[in-house]
Amino acid sequence: MSQKPTVDLGGDFYATAFQAAGDRQDRVILNMGPQHPSTHGVLRIIIEMEGEYILRAEPVLGYLHRMHEKMGEVKTYHQYLPNMGRVDYLHALAWNWGYVGAVERLAGIEVPRRAEFIRVITCELNRINSHLLWWGAYLLDLGGFTPIVYAFDDREQIMDLLQMPTGSRLTYCYYRFGGVRQDITDKFVEDTREFCKRFKPRLSLYKDLVTDNFILRKRCEQIGDLPLETARRYGATGPVIRGSGLAYDVRRAEPYSVYPELEFEVPVYDARDAMARYLVRMDEMRESLRIIEQALDMLPEGDFLAPKAPKRIKAPKGDSYFAVEGARGKIGVYVASDGSNVPYRVKLRSPSFSNLSLFDELARGTLLADAVSILGSLDLVIPEIDR
């Protein structure tokens, strides 16, 4: 930043700051985004290129920044709940869970067993929904148009399901401190079973038609090599680190709710490339189905909301941290309380933020076309990065 650009090509603060580091004039600075279709939202990346190869990449964030953390400090505990559906619109229920979990921990609120199962079922449905959209959109990036239509067909069904208990289709606000907003109905249970039955052969279909496709393999295999050590140093989580060979899943590593009672595998692949991350997500959908089916079988009777759940939360002084496994990795919510009905501080740890921060290291030396593949394989949700 202190160094003056050798060639002043103009541009805004970031472009100028980025150029300054380069001293050669035969290199091209390319601005990708913030409206580039493969960035899935408004992410901008400035890239320094030599020929078709990337030398350096700098993601520029903040185009979708809404300062959720400030809103957390001016709203009461309950008023802040709807914000959580808007941090990550694709896996809204995991964020719901992260926040209510942190507050429950702080205020010492017990959650009834039935509510825990309802949370698991809805959260896993939401995870499948998120992975499906990623899958469709990723293939769209790579030039395959048809899969997204199939994905939306399935997504439509999941959204119909989730609409029953939550009342909304995308930005859910369903979990409450001490349980959930309303009970699930028999129809929901029945339809969810029906969906599981229908979705399993669909996954096999996707494997045969898409995953085994030669062109897709060429675009993903050995692209975006991410060593485990790099992933760990950057705090990458979720399918990104599981594609690098580490079975790190918060549901297992730091068990919460009733996950310890449920049987499921944590899919891991050692290949470290975009394909490994792809396969992790495809396997995860199957595991989520397994979890849902078990949870439906085990669903106990009882309260969906703790009868003693406070209508107005006044958390005691202190702080707490709660982590859940979102579709993109570890979601962490830190809440500090001054004893009033408004949090003193809410910190949202977003997994995509950490996952994207290693993009520069990952993209160096790759072709620009592969960078699109790498970017997609990280599964970015921009509102979650920008918060």
| Residues in touch with other proteins (CB under 8 A) | 1, 13-14, 17, 61-62, 65, 67, 69-70, 73, 102, 105, 108, 232-235, 246, 248, 253-255, 316-323, 330, 332, 334, 336-338, 344-345, 347, 349, 353-354, 357-358, 361, 386-387
Give the sign of the dihedral formed by CA 264, CA 294, CA 170, CA 70: negative
Find, among 376, 323, 352, the residue nearest to 89 by Cα.
Answer: 352
User: 235 in the Ramachandran plot: left (φ > 0), alpha (ψ -120 to 50) or beta?
Assistant: left
What is the C-alpha to C-alpha distance for residues 283 and 350, in angstroms, rounded to an integer? 23
Pair of tokens at residue 345: 């501080």
Q: Which is nearer to other proteins, 254 or 261 (CB)?
A: 254
What is the C-alpha to C-alpha distance for residues 238 and 308, in angstroms, rounded to an integer? 35
- CA angle 331–333–339, rounded 5-degree value: 170
Q: Which is nearer to other proteins, 108 or 201 (CB)?
A: 108
- Distance of closest approach, residue 321 Cβ to other proteins, in angstroms: 3
Residue 347 and residue 363 in contact, taking contact as beta carbons nearer than 8 Å? no
- Distance of closest approach, residue 342 Cβ to other proteins, in angstroms: 10
Find, among 328, 105, 322, the residue nearest to 235 by Cα.
Answer: 328
Q: Which is nearer to other proteins, 69 or 183 (CB)?
A: 69
Place of tokens 């809805």: 122
- Distance of closest approach, residue 60 Cβ to other proteins, in angstroms: 8
Q: Which is nearer to other proteins, 65 or 197 (CB)?
A: 65
Q: Which is nearer to other proteins, 148 or 385 (CB)?
A: 385
- Distance of closest approach, residue 40 Cβ to other proteins, in angstroms: 18
Q: Which is nearer to other proteins, 87 or 151 (CB)?
A: 87
Q: Which is nearer to other proteins, 103 or 121 (CB)?
A: 103
Find, among 327, 383, 322, the residue nearest to 347 by Cα.
Answer: 322
- Distance of closest approach, residue 228 Cβ to other proteins, in angstroms: 11
What is the C-alpha to C-alpha distance for residues 364 and 287, in angstroms, rounded to an integer? 34
What single-letter DSSP state applies at residue 178?
T
- Distance of closest approach, residue 236 Cβ to other proteins, in angstroms: 8
What is the C-alpha to C-alpha distance for residues 111 and 101, in angstroms, rounded to an integer? 10
- CA angle 364–366–368, rounded 5-degree value: 110
- Distance of closest approach, residue 334 Cβ to other proteins, in angstroms: 6
